[in-house]
Structure 1
Amino acid sequence: MQVKLRQLYQRMQNLDPARFSVAIGFDGFVDEIVEVVDRRQSFDSYTRMTNIRQFGERISKAAGLSTNIEFVPKTMKLGGNGPIMANALVKAGTSVSYVGSLGSPNIHPVFTELTDGCTQVFSIAEPGHTDAVEFDDGKVMLGKMESLNDVNWATLQKEVDNHQLKRIFSGADLVATVNWTMTPYMNEIWAGLLALCSPQPDDYRPYFFVDLADPSKRSPGDICEALEVIGRFSTYYRVILGLNRKEASEIASVRGLTLSKPVEDADLEEIVRALGADLGLWCVMVHPTFEAGAYVDGEYFYVEGPFTSKPRLTTGAGDNFNAGFCLGLMLQLGVEESLAVGKATSGFYVRHMHSPSRDQLLEFIRLWADRAGEEF
C-alpha cells in the first residue's frame, strides 16, 4: 500500500482539478454538532456519553416514565449531503454549481463559505436542521426536514428555469444528486433532468453520482423505483451509486440478494460484487469506516485505511469520501487510486474538522504513505 500511495502522490502533483465542472443538488441543512451529557459535575464540567449504546439505554430506561437528556452544542456548520460534498469539491479546486435548499429568500450564513467558493448557486428553499449527536462509535442524526418538501421539479423550473438547468447539468463533468431519502420529490426531479438530457459524444460520458443517504425509512417499493430511475441515466452518464456499509445491507435486502452470510455480516467484497452485478450500473461503491470497495466492469477494487480511533468530526465524512472518489475519477485516476483519494479526503476531514485543499490533500496522501498500517 505504501508504494501505491507514494505513486499516487507523485501522479497527482501534475493533475489540475480546476478544469472540471461539477453540478450538485438538491438538499441543504444547518448542522448543529452536539454531545450528550452523561453526568454533569458543575455548570461548565460534565462527562459525555461516548457510545450509542449508552444513549439508547438511557432512552429505553425511560419507557413508561419520562427522562431529561441534555445536549451540549459544540459547533454549527453547513450540512446536508449536497453542501458538504460540494464544499469538499470546491476546496479541492473544481468549479462547482450548487442548486438546493440553502435559504429563501436569503441564504443562511452557515453556507457563506460554500457560496463564496461556488461558480454559481441557486437556492430554492429553506434549509432543514439537524442535531448531529456524535459518539466515539458513530452518530445519530436528528433531522427536521419539512422545508425539503419545497424541493421539487416545479420549484426548480420556477427558480432556475429549464434553459439554466440544462446548461448546468448537461455541461458538467460530474453531476451529483444526493440525499434521496430526505428529498421526497427526487424521483420527480430525476425524471425532469432525464427529459433535459442529450446524447453525449461516443468518446465522452460524464459521471452521474447518487447517494441515497440511509434509505431505511423508505419502503422497499420506493427504493426499487428509485434504483430503476437511476438506471435510466446510464444512457447518458457513467452512473455511480455510493453506499455506506449499512446502506449496502439495506439495498441487498430489498433486492433479495442471496449471500453466504446474512447481509450485515457478509464480507465487503461479496456484497459489493453482488450489488454491482445485480444493479448493472457503471459503478457500485461501498465505503465502511476504514475501508472501501468498488465494482466496475466486473472487477472489484479495494482500499484499506487510514485508521484513527479518535476522529474529531464524523458528520460529513462519507460526503467527503464521495467527493474525493469522484475527484479521482474526473482526474482519470484508476478506480483503486480514486478510492484512495476518497479515503484521504475523508481521513483529513475527520482529523481536522474541515475539507482539505488540494495541497492539504496531497500532503495527507504523503503522510498516509509514510504511516500506512499505523493509527495516526
Structure 2
Amino acid sequence: MNTVMEKYVGYINKLSGNILLGCDGFVDETYEIVQERKSQSEYSAMTNLKMFGELLVERADGGVGVELVPKRRCEGGFGINSGRIAAILGLKPRLPGLYGKASIDPAFVEFEDICDIYSLGDPALTIALEFGDGKVLMSNLEAVSNLTWADFEEYFTEAQLKELFSDVDILGLGYWSLTADFDGFFKGFMKQYETLTPPRRMFFDFADIKKKSSESFVNSLELIKPYNSKIPMTFSLNEHEVLELCSRIGIERPELKPETIATTLTLAREKIGFDELVVHTPEFAAASSAKDGEAYAIQERQTKVIRSAGAGDSFNGGYMCASLGDLPLKERLVMANAATAFFVTHATGPTKEELIAQIEKASDK
C-alpha cells in the first residue's frame, strides 16, 4: 500500500467524533417513467432528464400523461441521508427530526439502532422521478414548513437539550430553502452554545437557493456571519446552487471547471464571511477554506447509478466525517467523493473497508 492510501486507511480506521444534524425528515416515494411498454411485464424507462424535459416542451400546449413504475419507498432528507454515512462508518449521529409521530415510519426503522433518532412528528412526503443522470423531486413540505424552533424546545426538556447539544464536534443544519423557520432554528442552536462548549464546525446545506427570495437569503447569511469567528462555518452547494450564489452576491458566474470554481469560492467565501465553501458535482468537488486555501478533486462520473436521490447529502456526510480530524482539504474532498460514488452505485453508505476500496479506485486522490 502506498503512502497516500496509508493516510486514508489510518484516518478512516480511527474515525471518531460526535455529529448532530437537524432538523427535517422526508419519506421519498421514487418512481421511474415508462418510455415504451412492450408487454405487461416488459417496458423501457426514460433514461435521462432531457428526455422528460423534451416531452414536457413537446406537449406544452396540451397535457402530458406518463406511466410511473414504483422503484422504492425510503428515507429522505438532510439529516438522515447525511447521517447514514457517519452511522455506517461506525459513528452514532444525533438526528432530531421528523420520523413519525405515533411510531417511527418504516422508512426510518433501519436507522434506529445505528443513529440516535429523536422524532418530533410525521415526515414530509417527496415524490421523486429518478433518471440515470438525475432526478425531479416534488415535495409536500407542510410537515417541514410548519416545524419551528418553538416545537423543538417544547419536545425536549432543558436537561435533554443540554445533553443533545453537549460534546458535539460537528453541528449541521440542512435545507434552508425548505424550512420556513430556518433562521429560528439557527438562532436556537446558537443559543445552546452561550453556555456549552461550541462545536468545532457547523455545516450547512441550503438546498435550492433559487426557491426563496434574495432578501431572505441575504438576511440568513447576515444572521450567520457574526458567529463564524466562534464556530467556523462550512456551506455546501451543488453545481447549480454555486451559480445561483454568485448571481445573488454579485460575483461573475464561473465556468464549471474545478480550478475556476475553487477560485470563485474564495471570492464568495470572503464576501459572505464563511470559513469554508464546498461545491460537489458528478465530475469533481472543489472547496475554499480560510485556513487551507483552495483545492479540488476530480471524480469519475458514475455510469451504473441505481440511486441518485440523496447523492448530495451523502457527499455532505462524507465531508463531515472527513472534517472530524486533521485531513487536508483535498483529502476531505476525495473522501466525500468516494462516499457519494459508493452511495449512488449501491443505494447505501460504505463501511470503512468499502470506503477505503472506493478511494483506492479514484484516479485523483
Name the TM-score, length of structure 2 as normaliser: 0.92
Matched residues in 1 for 2:269 and 2:3: separation? 25
Aligned match for 1:288, one of 265, 271, 281: 281
Matched residues in 1 for 2:155 and 2:169: separation? 23
**What is the Cα deviation at residue 105 of structure 1?**
2.4
Matched residues in 1 for 2:216 and 2:326: separation? 34
Aligned match for 1:167, one of 150, 163, 180: 163
| Identity fraction in percent | 27
Say if 1:7 and 1:72 are closer, same or farther in 2 by CA, change over 3 A. Answer: same
Question: 1:68-217 to 2 correspondence within 5 Å?
Answer: 68-118=65-115, 120-198=116-194, 206-217=200-211
Residue matched to 1:12: 11
Deviations 1:135-177 (A, max 9, x none): 2222111111111133211110111234322332242111111
**What is the Cα deviation at residue 214 of structure 1?**
1.2
Counterpart amino acid of 1:58?
L
Residue matched to 2:219: 225
Counterpart amino acid of 1:88?
I
- Aligned-pair Cα RMSD in Å: 2.2
Say if 1:280 and 1:183 are closer, same or farther in 2 by CA, change over 3 A. Answer: same
Say if 1:4 and 1:218 are closer, same or farther in 2 by CA, change over 3 A. Answer: farther
Counterpart amino acid of 2:104?
I
**What is the Cα deviation at residue 69 of structure 1?**
1.2
Q: Does 1:297 align with 2:290?
A: yes
Residue matched to 2:266: 273
Name the TM-score, length of structure 1 as normaliser: 0.90
Residue matched to 1:307: 301
Matched residues in 1 for 2:320 and 2:274: separation? 15
Residue matched to 2:27: 30
For structure 1, the residue ranges without an aligned partner over 5 or more in a row are none
Deviations 1:86-132 (A, max 9, x none): 111111111211101111122211101122211x3211121111122
Residue matched to 1:364: 358
Secondary structure at 2:178 match in 1: coil
Counterpart amino acid of 2:225?
G
Say if 1:14 and 1:263 are closer, same or farther in 2 by CA, change over 3 A. Answer: closer
**What is the Cα deviation at residue 3 of structure 1?**
6.3
Counterpart amino acid of 1:47?
S
Matched residues in 2 for 1:239 and 1:56: separation? 37
Aligned residue-pair number: 362
Matched residues in 1 for 2:137 and 2:237: separation? 17
